[in-house]
Structure 1
């Protein structure tokens, strides 16, 4: 596990996107993001000038900033060379922030980071949706992201402010070192009904309410929710 003083990374770019229509249904999406010049203003809802097409499931205070591991790009290229052209465009997964060294295995729910004049806190992992299938032109892309656990994660904004090129991402507090995003992903994406794990997740006060509610529903119903609508297929069945 990475310790508090080991995460100290410089930010060189951030990605924002407008709303475009995607697929045969012409559904609105903000997944097509591009690097923009700093400085960048961050509010409780995320990056100014960044947009989400589906505000019910994307964006908002608990999903203000999306980060994706830069190291995962090389892994995707190695496993699926045909994806290289899309990966080379940058922000392939619709992320705002992409940094090396930080991965699902070494960041945790509730981690607090200082980045320039902004303070961020990890709120949850990402549950991929079918719009990734369209962007990558693969009917199973959202499922692959979920299956591999290479999902990235979201931040809530503790302190609004501005970020400039050269601002440093620094971990300042880790209240839940046992609950990495990787561990959360494993429980949520594995059809798990393990009572101990789900009870712990439901009690994580710094985890987003939507994920805590998901854990409570599994505990109460003893049934794993269907993923077919979100992923565009239902690989669990």
Structure 2
């Protein structure tokens, strides 16, 4: 199996076709080899951010990577999918050859401000964070790396795009950081991803105010839902 991916981009239709041609050539190469018992397939991931080629002999993995490298390293074989601050949002079902029509800054308005809201207690956050991590977290926030953010009562959940997407959970009290968890390998808390999520907390309005989820759903208008 060989999986190809480029952070923040999806394969164009031209790139997918070129990679499938490599898959087809390899399938022809091993067609008469009785020890090769599986089909050689190409699977396109959602977005389409990843390409997976299955049915490769382990000893052929390196040559296959070499064959794919010219395509993977060619920027014309990709299109941006909105990370961190440029390009267009592409729907999963869209033809990758057709540019998206929703600018990233419209989908994530905090990219337009890049400044933490006054409701965020920056002083407390600075006091509990190692300076280097605070600065890197600030850069992540300013680049728009915080997505999928949800803020209910004092609980904040967000996805922060670092070398890969990391899931962050934070507890706040009146805008002040209380505690946090992150799926990244950094054992120091708060890490840079937590910092970025806290800074982004002021970009959205928290819901809840002590109400249960059921009560919120019953009272919410269709537009709010």
- With structure 2 as the length reference, what TM-score do the two structures score? 0.28
Which structure shows the higher helix fraction?
2
- Larger RCO, structures 1/2 (Cα 8 Å, 6+ apart): 1
- With structure 1 as the length reference, what TM-score do the two structures score? 0.27
Q: Between Structure 1 and Structure 2, whose CA radius of gyration is higher?
A: 2
